[in-house]
Chain A
Amino acid sequence: KNQVEQSPQSLIILEGKNCTLQCNYTVSPFSNLRWYKQDTGRGPVSLTIMTFSENTKSNRRYTATLDADTKQSSLHITASQLSDSASYICVVSADDYKLSFGAGTTVTVRA
């Protein structure tokens, strides 16, 4: 069964600090992995997409990594801002249109 596990479930950080979110998956075959950001009361918005051959990809203060051998991905947030408070969802795609979603990590940034 294709599964996506995210950790931690939630975390609290101070503004300006960094944090790293983890995603482990068992989806096979693997096509791509996306990180989505979901603000409270809004729908998810795509941050990055990574394919099998990509190890690192950055989008402003967000840096995603992928290790396709160990089936792990991480999302690093640098110099966090209050607007980074959200749920971050890891989504893995197999060879069809069906996606496997993680339950998300809720990040709270405090001043």
Chain B
Amino acid sequence: ETGVTQTPRHLVMGMTNKKSLKCEQHLGHNAMYWYKQSAKKPLELMFVYSLEERVENNSVPSRFSPECPNSSHLFLHLHTLQPEDSALYLCASSQVLRQNSPLHFGNGTRLTVT
């Protein structure tokens, strides 16, 4: 149990589908993040929320839409994705939005776009 739970673990979707990824943290943290991890590449920061407010949108295409209804939950809504969007999507949380606050990652959602 990592304290950060992501569902589903695996997702296969067509380019015209709409789906959502869910992340829940049980650590009482104030900051939550979405990262994209592609094979052999560094993690890419997508979105950052602090106290439910979005503080970072790292030039992510609009086909990815985040939602943070409260400090414990984070969603990533997906629509009209491309095959190159296939990757492992990792959610993370930290106690506060500061460089010394360590990240706690979930186990990710493995997304395949067909």
Residues of A within 8 A of B (CB): 4, 9, 31-32, 34, 41-46, 49, 89, 93-104
By the criterion of a CB under 8 Å from any partner CB, how many residues of chain B are at the interface? 24
B76 to chain A, nearest CB (A): 15
Docked Cα-Cα span, A102 to B31, in Å, equals 22
- Give the residues in chain A near B99, CB-CB below 8 Å: 31-32, 93-97, 99
- The answer on a CB contact under 8 Å between B42 and A103 is yes
- The answer on a CB contact under 8 Å between A99 and B100 is no
Residues of B within 8 A of A (CB): 2, 4, 31, 40-43, 45, 48, 56, 90, 92, 94, 97-103, 105-108
Given A99-B45, A103-B42, verify A32-B2 contact (CB < 8 Å): no
Docked Cα-Cα span, A46 to B101, in Å, equals 11
- The answer on a CB contact under 8 Å between A103 and B107 is no
- The answer on a CB contact under 8 Å between B105 and A102 is no
